Structure 1
Amino acid sequence: MQQVIILHNQIPSDAPEDVLDILRQAQWIAEILTEKGYATTLLPYSLSALEQLEKSVVVFNLVDSAPKEELLSYLVPGILESLHLRYTGCSLSSLFLSTDKVLAKRLLSEHTLPTPALYSKESEKGLYLIKPTTQDASVGLDEQCLVEHDRVQAVLREKEQEVGCPCFAEQYIDGREFTVCMYGTKEEAHILPPYEWVFNDYGQNAKIITYDAKWTENTFGYEHITAKYTHDEADKALLQQLVQISTSCWNVFDLHGYARVDFRVDDQNRPYILELNANPSFYGFYHLAKEWLFSFEDIVLFLVEHPHVS
């Protein structure tokens, strides 16, 4: 019986909701694999524990960034490779390139893939969105992050003190928001149908998916943003373009495993890549499987059956 180690973050007693969710997903994946006949063990990350693993195991890598552990998300694959352990998900190089959002945007631009312009003093006037450079799960993102050009530098400094890490600003694209989930090997990517995040009854509120909108119940964003999985015929060309751009992202970032691309689409139907998230949460994959009647469990099995081999 193949043994699969579900590797996740250490979960402190005061862990925020996005970190607690890592453990929930680890337990979820373990249940699926156990039902499919695998021997599964949940393992909080530690180097000493990894050094004791048999080389025959497959490590299902769910280690993500957490407070004071921002480097772990991209370093863990390198550690697993150095220990000659097979593992799921993206490699060190792919995670490094995608985890640093400024570096990722420059790579996208080099390959003529559309992404919102980075702020500089010479940038055109208008609204800019301030984000932490290396955080995911919308950590640090709130309504105060959306500012006019002349306030960017002051708010940048405030936000960096608040979140304790470097931040950057990019041009705000006012429009629709889409997500594309994908998985596969370096040779072939499986691109799942794009879905849209709908901002219901937002009025004059800033249409951004904040940390609270993702994680905090009874907040305005949490209750007013919904996912839409089916689309009108008028969106067919746009959806095809999102799939094509996502395929290009898979190749540019040399991905193997699973990933997600987040888009904004402006009022002229032009898509912009907000970010590429390697090793994202599995909720998008799961809901797409329910909507389009394919097996989410088969995706999990695919990842275990196509690990990185050092």
Structure 2
Amino acid sequence: MQQVIILHNHIPQNAPEDVLDILRQAQWIEEILRQKGYSVTLLPYSLSALEQLDKNVVVFNLVDSAPGEEMLSYLVPGILESLKLKYTGCSLANLFLTTNKVLAKKLMAEHHLPTPAPYSKESEKGLYLIKPTAQDASVGLDEHCLVEHAEVQTRLKEKEAQIGCPCFAEQYIDGREFTVCMYGTRKDVHILPPYEWVFNEYGNRAKIITYDAKWTEQTFGYEHISAKYTHDEADKPLIVQLEHLAKDCWKAFDLNGYARVDFRIDASHRPFILELNANPSFYGFYHLAQEWNFSFEDLIVSLVNQAAIL
């Protein structure tokens, strides 16, 4: 019987919702794997505990950051590799490149992948979106992050002081938003059908998926943004384009495991890659499985089996 260790963050008292969600996903995957006949143990991240693990286990890595340091989220796969432990998900190199959004954007530009233009004093006028360089889960993102070109430098400093980490700014793409989930090996990637985030009754509000929109119940965004998993006939050419771009991202970043790409579509129907997340949650994968009639449980098992043979 294959033993699986589900590795997750330490969950402190009064943890924010995005951190609590890591434990929920760990328990969810534990239940799936137990039902599939695996021996499963949940383990909060600990170097000493990892050092004692048998080399034949598979570590299902759900740690989305080194303790207290989003900028160092790639360290956990690095530690697993140094201990010669098999693990699911993307590698140290994958996470190093994708966790730092500025670094990731440079690599996208080198591979001619469309992404919003970065802010500079010489860049064109218009709206810019300020984002943390290395935070995920939309941490630090709110409506005040959308600013005019002339305000960017001042607001950048204010945002960095507010959340205590480096930030950057890029051109705001006002339009539709899509997500593409994918998984596989470096040579063989499975691109799942893109789905759209619909901003219902937003009117003149900024169409941004903020932290509150993701995690805080009874806020406007939380209650008015919904996922649409089916495709309209008129969107078929766009859907094909997004699938091709997602595959190009997989190749450009030499990914292995599972990942998510977020897109914005401008008024001229041009797609822009907002970001590539090499350690995403599994909710998108689950809902796609429900919509498109494939087994989410088998997908989880395939990730374990893939890690076991590497």
Quote the residue 1:153 is aligned against.
153
Change in 2 beyond 3 A, CA 1:308/1:244: farther
Could you tell me which runs of 5 or more consecutive residues in structure 1 were left unpaired when the two chains were aligned: none
Tell me, yes or no, if the aligned pair for 1:182 and 1:191 is still in contact at 8 Å: yes
Quote the residue 2:98 is aligned against.
98
CA RMSD of aligned residues (A): 1.1
Aligned residue runs from structure 1 range 258-273, under 5 A: 258-273=258-273
1:65, distance to aligned residue in structure 2 (A): 2.8
Give, as a single letter, the amino acid of the residue that structure 1 aligns with 2:234. A
Quote the residue 1:89 is aligned against.
89
2:281 corresponds to 1:278? no
Stretch deviating more after TM superposition (68-77 or 234-243): 68-77
Distance 2:119 2:239 in 1: 28
- How many residues align? The count is 310
Matched residue of 1:307: which SS?
A: helix
Distance 1:306 1:72 in 2: 25
Tell me, yes or no, if the aligned pair for 2:71 and 2:100 is still in contact at 8 Å: no
Matched residue of 1:240: which SS?
A: helix
2:79 corresponds to 1:76? no
Quote the residue 1:15 is aligned against.
15
Give, as a single letter, the amino acid of the residue that structure 1 aligns with 2:223. E
Quote the residue 1:141 is aligned against.
141
CA deviations over 1:169-227 (Å, ceiling 9, x no partner) = 00000000000000001110000000000000000100000000000000000000000
Distance 1:80 1:266 in 2: 41
Aligned residue runs from structure 1 range 14-93, under 5 A: 14-65=14-65, 68-93=68-93
Could you tell me which runs of 5 or more consecutive residues in structure 2 were left unpaired when the two chains were aligned: none
Quote the residue 1:188 is aligned against.
188
Quote the residue 1:201 is aligned against.
201
Distance 1:155 1:7 in 2: 37
CA deviations over 1:45-100 (Å, ceiling 9, x no partner) = 01000000000100000001377231452111110010010000000000010000
Quote the residue 2:170 is aligned against.
170
Identity of aligned residues (%): 77
CA deviations over 1:139-178 (Å, ceiling 9, x no partner) = 0000000000000011100100111110000000000000
Quote the residue 2:216 is aligned against.
216
Distance 2:53 2:8 in 1: 15
2:252 corresponds to 1:252? yes
1:291, distance to aligned residue in structure 2 (A): 0.6
Tell me, yes or no, if the aligned pair for 2:71 and 2:135 is still in contact at 8 Å: no
2:217 corresponds to 1:227? no
2:127 corresponds to 1:127? yes
Quote the residue 1:290 is aligned against.
290
Give, as a single letter, the amino acid of the residue that structure 1 aligns with 2:89. G
Matched residue of 1:11: which SS?
A: coil
Give, as a single letter, the amino acid of the residue that structure 2 aligns with 1:95. L
Quote the residue 2:116 is aligned against.
116
Matched residue of 1:116: which SS?
A: coil
With the length of structure 1 as denominator, give the TM-score of the two structures: 0.98
Distance 1:279 1:308 in 2: 19
1:308, distance to aligned residue in structure 2 (A): 7.1
Matched residue of 1:141: which SS?
A: coil
Tell me, yes or no, if the aligned pair for 1:65 and 1:136 is still in contact at 8 Å: no
